[in-house]
Chains A and B, each alone.
Chain A
Amino acid sequence: AQSVTQPDIHITVSEGASLELRCNYSYGATPYLFWYVQSPGQGLQLLLKYFSGDTLVQGIKGFEAEFKRSQSSFNLRKPSVHWSDAAEYFCAVATGGNNDMRFGAGTRLTVKP
């Protein structure tokens, strides 16, 4: 079965600094990969997704992620973080048809002024 690991439970960055959130997955075939963001007390919002093709994926709010098959990774990046980016970020993996999307435990992002 597929699984997702987010090694960093909590990350703190200064406003304006660059950001990289790590995600490693385990799945035998080519996975469908997603990043979601969750603000306190809210549902999850889709930032970006990878199905196939170009391994560098652009998303909303200035985020991007790169799929690296050799490293089984799908790291999320942003060149300059804004205070409003403070939230919980979840990486997810799914099979074809996305019947059973599996989420990582999440990384909580704190942004220092």
Chain B
Amino acid sequence: DTGVSQDPRHKITKRGQNVTFRCDPISEHNRLYWYRQTLGQGPEFLTYFQNEAQLEKSRLLSDRFSAERPKGSFSTLEIQRTEQGDSAMYLCASSKTTGVLNYGYTFGSGTRLTVV
């Protein structure tokens, strides 16, 4: 098991362009989470999936953001019409959850987005 993989590691894009990030979770983990982290801050929750179902979205996730997990395996996070305020580290995490027990998240190394 190689842990949680995120691709790309870095992305520089022009304002107004669309970007898509990919996350491959640990294979036996049923939950997948997306967080955003800006400089000097802790990660902020964006959304999470249980298998292929998106169960919760933060109000931080504007309608320019969309996330999918089509087959309950990898996930993509797309940002449309990027703005400079979208510049941040986007972190993916996965966890194995049984009922209300969660054994802790495993985070990927993140995708750093710079919007110029």
Contact = CB atoms under 8 A, between A and B. Distances in A.
Interface stretch (A13-21, A73-81, A98-106): A98-106
Nearest to A106: B42
**Interface of B: prevailing SS:** strand
Interface string A72-103: 00000000000000000010101011111111
B3 to A, nearest CB: 9
Size bracket of the A interface: 20 to 34
Interface residues of B, number: 29
B91 A44 contact: yes
A102 B95 CA distance: 15
A97 B33 CA distance: 13
A100 B50 CA distance: 13
A103 B42 contact: yes
Interface of B: 4, 6, 33, 40-45, 48, 55-56, 58, 91, 93, 95, 97, 99-102, 104-110, 112
Given A34-B104, A41-B112, 6 more contacts: A4-B42, A41-B109, A42-B110, A46-B105, A103-B42, A103-B43
